[in-house]
Amino acid sequence: MKLLHIIASPRGSRSRTLQVSHEFLTALRKKYSALQVDEMDLLRKNFPKYPSMPLRQNMPA
């Protein structure tokens, strides 16, 4: 079984959500020994840079 764990908290190790998710994943790994967890930390990813636009230009009328 595969699971993608997406991390999007700017608080890093101080994030309570991240602490809870790690506890959850620990319990899940104990129950499913074949579990493969891939982590994607969105704050550490290098996304392409886009020019800044006012928010209204991105929203439909």
pLDDT digits 0-9 by tens, 7-61: 988 888 889 999 999 999 999 999 999 999 999 998 888 777 766 666 555 555 5
Q: What is the pLDDT of residue 55?
A: 56
* pLDDT at res. 57: 57
Between CA 33 and CA 9 the distance in angstroms is 27
- List, as own/partner pairs, every contact residues 46-53 make where C-beta atoms lie below 8 angstroms and the sequence separation is at least 24, other chains included: none
Residue 10: what pLDDT? Answer: 86
Indicate the length of the chain as a whole number.
Answer: 61
The model's pTM is 0.67
Return the pLDDT at 44: 85
